[in-house]
Amino acid sequence: MDHLIVGPDVPLTDAQWARIEPLLPARTPRRGGRWRDHREVIDAIAWNFQTGSQWVYLPAKYGNWRGVYNRLRMWAVDGTWERVFAV
The pTM assigned to this predicted structure is 0.78
Smallest CA-to-CA distance from 38 within 87, 86, 81 is with 81
Which residues have CB under 8 Å from 4's CB, separation 6+? 13
Span 7-27, mean pLDDT? Answer: 82
> Which of the pair, 30 or 18, is modelled with greater confidence?
18
How far apart, in Å, are the Cα atoms of 84 and each of 21, 28, 34?
Answer: 9, 19, 22
Read off the pLDDT of residues 19-43 as tens digits, 9 standing for 90 and up.
999 999 886 656 655 566 888 899 9
